[in-house]
Each structure stands twice: as C-alpha cells, then as structure tokens.
Amino acid sequence: MQIFHNPNYDFLRWRWHALILSWIIIAAGIGVIATRGLALGVEFSGGTIVILEFDTTPTIDQIRSALDAQKVGGGGQNIVVQRYGSETARQVMVRLPHSGEEQGTSLTRTADEVVKAVKDANLGGFKQVGSQVVGPVVGRELTQKGLWATIFSLLGLLVYIGFRFRLSFGVGAVVATFHDLLVTLAFLAFFRYDMSLNVIAALLTVTGYSTNDTIVIFDRVRENLRGMRRDAIGDVVNASVNQTLGRTVITAGTVLMSVIALYLFGGEVLKGFAFTMIVGTITGTYSSVFIAAAIVTFWRGKNAPRVPAAAAADVAPKKKNGKRDRA
C-alpha cells in the first residue's frame, strides 16, 4: 500500500527544533523526578497491594478511616487507597509500604490486617479478589536487574549496529534509543504511572521497536551512499528517510492503534504498560527520523562523502601522449 507519492520533505531542516523540544521534555521530566520522585510499583519499592471488590462501593475516605482506626501498616499518609478498574467493577486498591523484617508470614500479615479492618468497619459486603506482596530485598534485586537489562540492551545495540553498519550509525541509534527512554520516563513522571515490571517490559519493547525503525532507515542510507557519492550526507539521509516514510507511517500506525486499544480496553493492570507503549511508539518513530539521522549528519559533517578512488579515476581528465589534457 502506497501512502506517499514521491515524498521530498526536508526533515533535517527541523533537526535543531526537534533536539530543543526533546531537551525541554527531558529537562522537565528530570525536574519532576527530582522534586516528586518517580512513582515505584510494589515490585521495586516493596510493600503490599490488596484489591477489594464491594457489593456497594464505600467512599475512599471511609476506607482510609477504617485502616487508620486499626493502625494498619502503622497508619499515616503512606497508605494509598484508590479506585481500581471501571466504576462498574466496584473495586478498590489499597497499597501499603513494607515495614519490618522480611521474615516468614510477616509478608502476608498486612494484607490480612487490611481485610480485617474493612470488615470491622462494616462498610458492606466485599471480597478480596487480588493481592501482591513484595519484600524490600526482592524489590532492590528487581531494581538492579531492571537497570542491568536496560544497560546491556543499549550496549548490544551499539556493538551490533556499529559492526553491521558504521560506528556513527551505532552511536546515532544508541543516542536515539536513550532519548526514547528518557522521554518515556518523563511522561511516566508527568502522569504519575508506577514503575512496575510491566512498564520495564514496555520500555525494553520500545527499545527494540525504535531500533528496528532506525535500522530500516540506516540500511537505506547505506544503499544510497553507493549511488549518491557526490551528494552531501544530509541530502543522502533526507532521501533515505523519504524513501522509507510510507513504511514508517504504516508500521507506527498499526502499532499505535493496537496499544491504544490495549490502553482503553485492557484493564487497570495493563494501563501502565499500554501508556508506556503509546509514548514509546510515538517518540521511537520521531527519534528515528530526527535524532538518529541527525546524529549521523553531525558525526560525518556536511561535506559530500569521499568519492572512491575508482570513481575518481573515471571522472579525472584523460591523458594524451602521456600528458594530462589541459583543455
């Protein structure tokens, strides 16, 4: 299916505007994370999550008062009580930070205390439909593994693309991928989505998606470098982006429609994953065009690529009688 007929857009004309926009978003995200922190899911921070389904949903204040009255989890503002899922589901999620030693049944005791406190408060019929308990040691271990998984994936990309293409291409791809991660983290901080294992999985998926899109463009750049030897690297990159534009739009569009549907209908558990994928798909497509390609042009300069010796000999003035023709 052909969407564009001979597109000839000057994408690199907007590379500085794109870089400034990216830096603004990343700086704002760093500011939010520095002041408010990055919301960590129970997998990384440690704690207890209990999901209750009521026959008639009480107010959030009533549930919080019931927990405070029994001093569940030590009481205080660290307890999070919020609606879970749609309004018709009549579910409430109670999240408490972990306290004390990670020993034996102490990990499940807090969940039992939540259920008992709500039952003693006579807030109506309810049942426990889910729970999740993670100790602080496991949380720290998962955090370290998540960081190492991200670092090793970036290093692997640099080695593969640098070997398969050129070092400048590898650096451009890694910078673009790192940019995607920072922008996505910024939006997670803006909208206060918890950093969970689902979100980490989405971030790694975004890494692969963005790199695949970048490699498609770089492969076309490599092909065009053979036939456009005398053109400036910027012209070669622009031509390559335009030639792959239809494929980029179709791929990004289908992925985006899928993750939007997942966000709308996938339920509360998958909202963080789907939101991360939405932001990552958009910024991954954007960075392949404006960030990765721009890095290659900065690296290799604005001059025309070097003409191979064989090609230079073909265009050199021919000699007559052993002397170069001066005509």
Report if residue 103 sits inside a domain.
yes
231 domain residue, yes or no: yes
Domain assignment present for residue 321? The answer is: no
In a domain, 315, yes or no: no
Same structural domain, 143 and 287: yes
Do 174 and 101 belong to one domain? no
The candidate with the shortest Cα–Cα distance to 48, out of 103, 92, 90, 109, is: 109
Distances (CA, A) of 8 to 17, 211, 219, 237, 243: 19, 24, 19, 12, 9
Look at residue 315 in the predicted model and tell me its pLDDT. 39
Residues in the chain: 327
Burial of 181 per CB tally in 10 Å (0-12, 13-18, 19+)? buried
Q: How many CA atoms lie within 13 A of 130 on its CB side?
A: 13
User: What do you get for the CA distance between the two ends of the chain, in Å?
Assistant: 52
DSSP 8-state secondary structure symbol assigned to residue 321: T
Q: Determine, yes or no, domain membership for 317.
A: no
Do the beta carbons of residue 292 and residue 217 sit within 8 Å?
yes
Model pLDDT, residue 75? 60
Q: Which two tokens stand for residue 140?
A: 């720290």
Same domain, 81 and 215: no
Predicted local distance difference test score (pLDDT) of residue 25: 96
Structure-block tokens of residue 314: 């073909």
AA letter at 283: T
The pLDDT of residue 78 is 67
Residue 51 and residue 22 in one domain = no
The letter for the amino acid at 116 is K
Same domain, 169 and 272: yes
Note the pLDDT of residue 77: 56
Q: Which domain holds residue 120?
A: 47-134
Q: Are 236 and 224 in contact (CB under 8 A)?
A: yes
Q: What is the largest CA-CA distance in the chain?
A: 110
Q: Does some domain include residue 314?
A: no
Q: How far is CA 102 from the centre of its chain?
A: 32
- Please give the pLDDT value at position 171: 83
Pairing, β 47-54 against β 91-97: antiparallel
pTM, two decimals, is 0.76
Half-sphere exposure of 147 (CA within 13 A, CB side): 6
In one letter, which amino acid is 169? F
Asked if residue 229 and residue 114 are part of one domain, the reply reads no
Structure confidence at residue 267 (pLDDT): 78
Q: What is the 3-state secondary structure (H, E, C) of 63-122?
A: HHHHHHHCCHHHCCCCCEEEEECCHHHCEEEEEEECCCCCCCCHHHHHHHHHHHHHHHCC
6 occurs within a structural domain: no
Name the helix (H) or strand (E) containing 131: strand 126-134
Where residue 62 sits, what CATH number does that domain have?
A: 3.30.70.3400
Say yes or no: 30 and 53 in one domain: no
User: How many domains, the chain?
Assistant: 2
Residues 153 and 279 in one domain: yes
In angstroms, what CA-CA distances link 157 with 63, 174, 206, 207?
Answer: 49, 7, 13, 9
The answer to whether residue 324 sits within a structural domain is no
Q: Average pLDDT by consecutive 10-residue portion of the chain (327 residues)?
A: 77 89 95 89 78 86 86 68 80 77 58 87 86 71 78 78 77 86 94 86 86 87 85 88 90 93 86 94 91 83 47 43 44
- pLDDT (0 to 100) of residue 305: 47
CATH of residue 294's domain is: 1.20.1640.10
